[in-house]
């Protein structure tokens, strides 16, 4: 008789798919200490590094997405897909999962397709307000679809949808008690407003250029800036770390303290970032990347801005940044209004809610 359950999890390509997958695994591990976990990702993507760091085994598939323009990668896509379906089938046959969970990204496609073909219950978690191709396709066979936004019945069968929110770091739930600690950690002046600039772990070229072009403007506004410029750009911008009012970082290891210290946040609008910022509850200027699948970052930011919970500034409008920023900085009422509204959109119990749905499927 089978003693423990086997849980197969697939998702990756970006942190927005990987960290929710790890959060779900961690919560399941608390409830099922004897469970066996196996992750499946895309070879050469960041999940092959991040998942083992979190203590889980991962296998890689030879898979990538379809580019918008004709490339060698596109021509090889059918071969990659066939190879990945074959290898996903082999992994499933050997691991014998009781459930398969997909958090988006290219690798989750072959894994969940083969799992559902073998009669294994599948659950997908969609982080964005506008789903990617993979999850739209997988939704036909999935038994449950956990979402973070309203109105996704346009894309998914309504009877399968459960609004849970996106998993976020638990250390963000107590940031309001860490303001002093955050200011001390970053050696900030207590009397000055702090601006936190986030472009994702790899960095955002347009946001970095915006900050560089406005260094004197920030000095004139008498604000201090924590600038997370990303792995790809640290060599270009670390020289500005010598300025009194600017701190340049490749990566922020203590995001909770960075959020706690911030008065205003400038950020991309990836799904995980948006969910975190709802919990953080600070005034946000979203500058979404227009270069992502289905332009989902703009759609994420728009859905928050339409509820008067953040400011949306498109890359094509960055010349208006000084006016937008100065107006917000000087309007305390507007800051409070944005804070309250974005905080009301938070779903802090997302991981628990998703794992509750996984448990229901396991019990069936």
Give domain status of residue 155, yes or no.
yes
Choice among 40-49, 85-94, 186-195, 325-334 with the minimum mean pLDDT: 40-49
Do residue 311 and residue 243 come from a single domain?
Answer: yes
Mean pLDDT computed over every residue of the chain: 91
**CATH code: domain of residue 144:** 3.40.50.2000
pLDDT of residue 255: 93
The pLDDT confidence band at residue 68, using thresholds 50, 70 and 90, is low
Q: Is 14 annotated as a binding residue?
A: yes
18 and 159 belong to one structural domain: yes
308 lies in the same domain as 352: no
**How confident is the model at residue 172, as a pLDDT?**
87
Predicted pLDDT of residue 263: 98
Q: Looking at 15-19, 40-44, 194-198, 268-272, which range is the least confident one?
A: 15-19
Beta bridge partners of 130: none
Is a pLDDT exceeding 80 seen at residue 359? yes
Are 160 and 206 contained in the same domain? Answer: no
Q: Global pTM?
A: 0.84
162 and 29 belong to one structural domain: yes
Known binding residue 303? Answer is no
Are 217 and 148 within one domain? no
Does residue 117 have a known ligand-binding role? no
The annotation status of 103 as a binding-site residue, yes or no, is: no
Look at the chain and report how many structural domains it folds into: 2
Residues 274, 210: one domain?
A: yes
Do 163 and 238 share a structural domain?
Answer: no
Please check if 349 is assigned to a binding site: no
Is residue 35 located within the same domain as residue 181?
no
Structural domain including 83 reads 6-168+348-363
Instruction: Decide if 292 is inside a domain.
Output: yes
**Residue 300 in marked binding region:** no
Whether 355 and 328 map to the same domain: the answer is no
Domain check: are 84 and 121 in the same one? Answer: yes
Residue 297 annotated as binding?
yes
């Amino acid at each position: 008789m089978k003693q423990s359950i086997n849980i197969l999890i697939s998702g990756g390509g970006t942190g927005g798919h990987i960290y929710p997958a790890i959060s779900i695994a961690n919560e399941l591990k608390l409830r099922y200490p004897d469970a066996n976990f196996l992750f499946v990702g895309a070879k050469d993507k960041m999940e092959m590094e991040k998942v083992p760091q979190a203590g889980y085994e991962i296998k890689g598939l030879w898979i990538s997405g379809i580019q918008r323009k004709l490339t060698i990668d596109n021509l090889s896509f059918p071969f990659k897909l066939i190879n990945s379906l074959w290898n996903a089938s082999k992994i499933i046959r050997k691991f014998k999962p009781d459930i398969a969970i997909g958090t988006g990204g290219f690798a989750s496609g072959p894994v969940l397709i083969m799992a559902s073909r073998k009669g294994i219950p599948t659950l997908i978690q969609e982080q964005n307000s506008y789903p990617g191709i993979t999850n739209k396709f997988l939704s036909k066979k999935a038994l449950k679809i956990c979402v973070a936004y309203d109105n996704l019945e346009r894309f998914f069968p309504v009877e399968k949808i459960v609004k849970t929110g996106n998993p976020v770091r638990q250390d963000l739930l107590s940031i309001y008690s860490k303001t002093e600690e955050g200011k001390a950690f970053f050696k900030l002046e207590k009397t000055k407003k702090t601006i936190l600039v986030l472009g994702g772990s790899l960095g955002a070229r347009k946001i970095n250029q915006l900050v560089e072009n406005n260094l004197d403007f920030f000095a004139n506004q008498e604000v201090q800036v924590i600038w997370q410029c990303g792995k790809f750009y640290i060599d270009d911008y670390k020289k500005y770390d010598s300025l009194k009012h600017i701190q340049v970082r490749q990566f922020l290891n203590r995001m909770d303290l960075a959020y706690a210290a911030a008065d205003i946040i400038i950020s991309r609008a990836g799904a995980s970032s948006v969910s975190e910022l709802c919990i953080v509850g600070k005034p946000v200027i979203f500058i979404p990347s227009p270069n992502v699948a289905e332009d989902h970052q703009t759609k994420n930011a728009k859905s928050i801005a339409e509820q008067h919970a953040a400011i949306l500034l498109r890359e094509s409008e960055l010349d208006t940044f000084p006016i937008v920023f100065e107006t917000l900085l000087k309007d305390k009422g507007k800051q409070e209004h944005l804070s309250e509204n974005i905080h009301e959109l938070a779903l802090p119990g997302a991981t628990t809610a998703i794992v509750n749905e996984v448990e229901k499927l396991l019990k069936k």
